[in-house]
Amino acid sequence: MENEAEKSPNGYEPKVVAFACQYCAYSAADLAGPTGLQYPANVRLVKLPCTGKLDVLYILDAFENGADAVFIAGCLDGNCHHVEGPLRAKRRLVLANKILNELGIGADRLGMYQMSGGESIRFVEAAREMTDRARQLGPSPLNQRKSAANE
Amino acid sequence: MTKDVLVRYQSEDGEIKTEAFDIVALSTGSEPAAKAADLAGRLGIELNEWGFCKTEKFNPLQTTMPGIFVCGTFAGPKEISETLAEAAGAAAGALQFLSPVAGSLSPAPEYPPERSVSGEKPKVGVFVCSCGEEISKVVDLDQVVSHAQRLPDVAYVEKVAYACDPDTRKQIAGKMNELGLNRLVMAACSPRTHESMFQELLRQAGLNSNLVDIANLRDQCAWVHVDEPEMATLKGKDLTAMAVARARLLEPIETYVVEPKKSVLVIGGGATGMSSALAIAQEGFGVTLIEREAELGGNLRRLYSTAEGADPQQFLKELIREVESNDRITVMLNTELVKSTGSAGDFRSTVATMVAGNGGSTETEIEHGATVVATGAVESRPGKYGLGQDDKVITQQDLEAVIAQHSERIKSANSIVMIQCVQPEDQAEAYCSRVCCTAAVKNAIRIKELSPRTDVYVLYKDMMTYGFREQYYTEARRRGVVFVRYSDDRQPDVRLEAGKLRVVVEDPILGERMALQSDLLVLSTSIRPAETNTGLASVLSLPLSREGFFLEAHLKMRPTDFVAPGIFLAGMAHYPKFVDECLSQAAGVAAGVAGLLSKDQAKFRGEVATVDATKCAACLTCVRVCPFDVPFINAEGVAEVDPKKCQGCGTCSGECPAKAIRLFNYYDAQVLAKTKALAGQFVKIGEVAAIGE
C-alpha cells in the first residue's frame, strides 16, 4: 500500500501523530471547531483512555511508520480522571527521549502538552507548535532513509 | 443591473451610508406557533400577553393547569440547550405523579440475539457520513470511499447523509446483517458524542456492541481544516484507514451488571441544589445535600426582587422548609466533598464537615448512585471604580439589599449611576454574565418606584434584556432612566471630589463627554465561577471551561450531563443564569437521575484490565501504581483485577514490566494498528500475538 501523504501537493508535509487522553485533550481537540479554531491538517490523533496508558513502544512505532513528530496530550497535573496519568506519561517520555536521541531521530520531535477538556486553544497551540517544529526539522531521518531506499 | 441588494443605513456617527451586498439575512425573531392559541384553548392553559405559554418565575415548567407541563420555545424564545434541559425537567415534573409505577411500562429495548464472531475473518463495513454537508464540504468523501474500498478486510463501503438518523442506522444495521459484516467503521463525527449510538446500532444488527471504530472526520478533520481541503482529504483517508486497522482487531466486550444505589449526592445548597434535591426525593430516591456554607440558600439569599415581580425571599423560605421537612433528604451544612470514587450507580464519596469552634472537621462516607454538581457562582468584587474603598460604590447585589433594607439611602439620593460590564482585571476570558443587564434595569425601576425624583443613569456597552425581559427595559425608559453607551476604549472615569462621586463618560452618539454627579455608584460586575470549582473538578475528575465553569458533555445537546456517566450539572456552576433557568435545569437533572437509578440493573461495559497469569511475576507494580487500589495478589499468587472496580485507565498495563496486563480495547496491537496504518501497514490476523501481546 502506498503512502498517500508523500504525494502531498506542497512537497514535504510532515505527519504529526498525537496520542490524546480521551478525557481532556481528545475533548479539547473536538471543541476546536465549534470555538472557531483551526489547526494544521498534518495532525492525526490516536485516542488513549489516559496518558497513564502511554507506552514508549507507541511513540517509537509512530516514528517507524512515518511520523515526523509525535506529541502526547494529557490532562493538567492534579486534574487527571485517573489521578496521575500525565505524571506517569512524563516519566515514560524521559526514556522515549533518550531512545530517540540514541536512534538519531532526536527528542525534539517529541512533545508533551497538558490541557483541560475545554481548552481547545491549548490543543490548537500544541498542534501548530509540533507541526511547525516538524517543518523546521525537515522529514524524520527514518523517512529520509525510506525515500532514499525507494529511489 | 447587478441585482445586488443596496442597504442604506445610518452609522454611529450619524452618517448615512449605502452599501451593496449579495445576500441580506434577516434575523426576524420568533413568535408563537400559529396554532398555539388553539392548543392552549383545548388544553385549558393560559397564554401570556405575547401569546406564549404562561408560566411563573419560580415554576418555569408548570402551565396554569396542574399536571400539564411546558418546555421549549412554546414558553418563550430560547436557546437549544435550554429547551433540552427544560424537556428533561418537564419529564421529571410528570415523573412526580408516576414515581410509584415509573419504568413498569417501558420495556427494555429488544435486540436480536448476539451472533458470535469468534473464528470469523474480519469483514468490515465502512459507512462514510457527510453529516449533511458538514464533512463533505471540506473532505472529498469520494476519495475516502475509494480509499476505504482498497483497505484489507473491507467488504462494503457506503456513503450516507446522516449516520445519526434512526432510519439510516436501521439501514446500516440491515446491511451489516445482509452481508454478514462483523466489524463496523463509521467515518463520521466524534466517538466522544456518538460512540454509544453506533454501539447500539450493532446490537440492532445482532452483533456485540464493541465491534465498532470511529474515524472522527467531522470534529477533528472537516471542522478544523476548513482552508486545507486537500490535506484534510488526505487526513480523512488516513483516519479511516486507522479506524479500519483497529476495527479488524476488536473483540466482543462483556457487560457487567450493577444494581444502582438508589440515592444521590447533591453538592450545593442554593436554589438549584435544593430544588433538584426535592425533585429527586419526589421521585423516591434518597438525597444527601451538602452545603459549604453554614446555611442553605446560596445567591438567592441576596436576591430581594425579580424583574417579573415574584418574591425570591418568600420562595426561598418555602423551598428551605420543604427541603428540611423532606424525610428523604439529609442536609449537611459546613460540608465539602473531599474524595469520590466509583462509577455510575455505585459511587463512594467522603465529605468533611467543619466542626464549629475547634476548626477541625469530621469525615463521613456516603454511598450513592449519582452525583449532582450545583455549586453556583459568585458576583466578583474587582477593585475598580473605587469599589471596596468608598461605601458609595457598591455592586448590583449590594444594591438589592440597600433597596430592600435601607430605602432611605435611595430616597435621599439625587443621582444614582450604574456601570455595566465591569470585569476584574485578572479575568482572562471576556464573557457575558447574562443576568446583569436585567438586574440593572430591574433595580433602576425599583429606584424610580421608591424615589421618582432620583436621576438614574445606566452606562452600558450593550443592553441584553432578551426575551420577555425587554419589557422592563422599555418600562425603565418610560420612567425616565437614562441609558448612556460607552465603548471599551473609552471606559467611564470615576473620581471622588469633595466627598462626591463624579462620573465622566463619553457618549459615542453625541460625541460628547458627560459629567454626572452621583450619590451612589452601582457596578454590574462579572459573575465568576466559584473558587472551589478547581478543587471540586479535581476530586470528581470533571472538566472546566476556559472561563472556569463546569463543562457539560455537549454544548447544545447535553446541557445537564457530564461525559462521565452518573454525574449531572445544574445552575450557575455551568454559567451565569437567571433563577428560572437554574430551576429548569435542576428539574432536568432529576430526570437524568431517574433515568439512571430507576432501573434495577445498570449495565457497564467491561473496558477493564486483565492479567495474564502465566506472565505475572507478582512484582506488585500494578498493586502499587493503580490510582484506585484495585489489583491484588490472589490465592494463586498472581495479580488479579476486579472488573467491577477497574476504572479502565490502563496505568497498570502501561507500567507492568512483564507486559502481563492488557487493557480491553487498548491492547498494544490495537493501538499500534493505528500508527501502522499511517504507513499502510496492516497486521495479518493471527499474527497479533507476535507483537508483544
Interval B590-632: pLDDT, tens? 999 998 998 877 777 889 999 999 999 999 999 999 887 789 9
Q: Which of A22, A64, A79, A91 to mutate: most B Cβ within 10 Å?
A: A79
Picking from A54, A116, A118, the nearest residue to B654 by CB comes out as A54
Q: What is the pLDDT of residues B391-402, one digit of tens each?
A: 999 999 999 999
Q: Which residue of chain B is at minimal alpha-carbon distance from A37?
A: B224
- Is A88 inside any structural domain? yes
CATH number, domain of A70, equals: 3.40.50
Do residues B620 and B658 touch, judged by C-beta distance below 8 A? Answer: no
Instruction: Supply the pLDDT for residue B546.
Output: 83
- Is A73 inside any structural domain? yes
Instruction: Supply the pLDDT for residue B165.
Output: 95
User: Is the per-residue pLDDT at A78 higher than 80?
Assistant: no
The mean pLDDT of B365-376, rounded to a whole number, is 97
* Contact yes or no for B678 and A66 at CB 8 A: yes
**pLDDT confidence bin for B102, thresholds 50/70/90:** low
Do residues B607 and B647 touch, judged by C-beta distance below 8 A? Answer: no
Q: What is the pLDDT of residues B294-331, one digit of tens each?
A: 999 999 999 999 999 999 999 999 999 999 999 999 99
- Is A2 inside any structural domain? no
Contacts of A123 in chain B (CB under 8 A): none
- Is A21 inside any structural domain? yes
Q: What is the pLDDT of residues A27-61, one digit of tens each?
A: 999 999 998 899 999 999 999 999 999 999 999 99
User: Is the per-residue pLDDT at B691 higher than 50?
Assistant: no
Cβ-Cβ contacts under 8 Å between A and B: the total is: 174
Contacts of A17 in chain B (CB under 8 A): 675, 678
- Is A62 inside any structural domain? yes
Binding-face residues of B in 416-455 toward A, CB within 8 A: none
Total count of domains within chain A: 1
Pairing mode, strands B286-290 and B329-332: parallel
Quote ipTM for the complex.
Answer: 0.93
Main-chain dihedrals φ then ψ at residue B216, nearest 5 degrees: -80, 75
Angstrom distances, CA of residue B49 to CA of B73, B76, B142: 15, 11, 53
**pLDDT confidence bin for B688, thresholds 50/70/90:** low
**DSSP 8-state symbol, B107:** P
The radius of gyration of chain A from alpha carbons, rounded to an integer in Å, stands at 15
- Is A26 inside any structural domain? yes
Binding-face residues of B in 191-220 toward A, CB within 8 A: 191-193, 216, 218-220
User: Is the per-residue pLDDT at B3 higher than 50?
Assistant: yes
Instruction: Supply the pLDDT for residue B686.
Output: 65
Do residues B241 and B124 touch, judged by C-beta distance below 8 A? Answer: no
Instruction: Supply the pLDDT for residue A8.
Output: 45
Q: Is A54 helix (H, G, I), strand (E, B) or coil?
A: coil
The total of other beta-carbon atoms located within 10 Å of residue B135's CB is: 24
* Dist CA B523 CA B405 (whole Å): 19
Contacts of A39 in chain B (CB under 8 A): 224-225
**DSSP 8-state symbol, B300:** G
Q: Which residue of chain A is at minimal alpha-carbon distance from B674?
A: A46
Q: Looking at beta carbons, which pairs linking B25-33 to residues 24 or more positions away fall under 8 Å? A: B29/B77, B30/B73, B30/B77, B32/B74, B33/B74
Instruction: Supply the pLDDT for residue A151.
Output: 55
Give the cell for residue A44: 492525526
Instruction: Supply the pLDDT for residue A149.
Output: 64
Q: Which of B192, B224, B542 to mutate: most A Cβ within 10 Å?
A: B224
User: Is the per-residue pLDDT at B671 higher than 80?
Assistant: yes
- Which parts of A22-92 are beta strand (E)? 43-48, 69-74
* Contact yes or no for B651 and A52 at CB 8 A: yes
Contacts of B239 in chain A (CB under 8 A): 44
* Dist CA B182 CA B173 (whole Å): 11
Give the CA angle between residues B318, B323, B329 to the nearest 5°: 175
Domain that holds residue A99: 13-150
Contacts of A55 in chain B (CB under 8 A): 654, 668, 671
- Is A6 inside any structural domain? no
The mean pLDDT of B209-236, rounded to a whole number, is 97
Contacts of B661 in chain A (CB under 8 A): none
Give the cell for residue B327: 424525610
Give the CA angle between residues B657, B660, B661 to the nearest 5°: 100
- What mean pLDDT, rounded, does chain B reach? 92
Instruction: Supply the pLDDT for residue B645.
Output: 77
User: Is the per-residue pLDDT at B678 higher than 80?
Assistant: yes
- Which parts of B585-673 are beta strand (E)? 602-605, 609-611, 632-633, 639-640, 661-663
Instruction: Supply the pLDDT for residue B95.
Output: 83
CA end-to-end distance (rounded Å), chain A: 17
- What mean pLDDT, rounded, does chain A reach? 89
Instruction: Supply the pLDDT for residue B557.
Output: 81
**pLDDT confidence bin for B429, thresholds 50/70/90:** confident
The total of other beta-carbon atoms located within 10 Å of residue B373's CB is: 28
Residue B327's contacts (CB-CB under 8 Å, 6 or more residues apart) are none
CA-based nearest distance B439→chain A, Å:
29
Instruction: Supply the pLDDT for residue B503.
Output: 96
Instruction: Supply the pLDDT for residue B256.
Output: 80
How far is C-alpha B674 from the geometric centre of its chain's CA atoms?
Answer: 31
Q: Does B81 reach chain A within 8 Å, measured CB to CB?
A: no
Q: In chain A, what percentage of residues exceed pLDDT 70? A: 89
Pure H helices in B483-619: 533-540, 579-597
User: Is the per-residue pLDDT at B164 higher than 90?
Assistant: yes
Do residues B368 and B351 touch, judged by C-beta distance below 8 A? Answer: no
**pLDDT confidence bin for B359, thresholds 50/70/90:** confident
Q: Does B468 reach chain A within 8 Å, measured CB to CB?
A: no
**pLDDT confidence bin for A5, thresholds 50/70/90:** very low
**pLDDT confidence bin for A4, thresholds 50/70/90:** very low
Q: Report the DSSP beta bridge partners of residue B125.
A: B156, B184
- Is A94 inside any structural domain? yes
Q: What is the dihedral of CA A77, A79, A84, A90, to 10 degrees?
A: -30
User: Is the per-residue pLDDT at B687 higher than 80?
Assistant: no
Binding-face residues of B in 482-541 toward A, CB within 8 A: 534, 537-538, 541
* Dist CA B274 CA B583 (whole Å): 9
Main-chain dihedrals φ then ψ at residue B50, nearest 5 degrees: -95, 0
The position carrying cell 399536571 is B67
Instruction: Supply the pLDDT for residue B64.
Output: 96
* Contact yes or no for B663 and A49 at CB 8 A: yes
* Dist CA B358 CA A2 (whole Å): 72
Binding-face residues of B in 640-679 toward A, CB within 8 A: 647-651, 653-655, 663, 665-666, 668, 671-672, 674-679
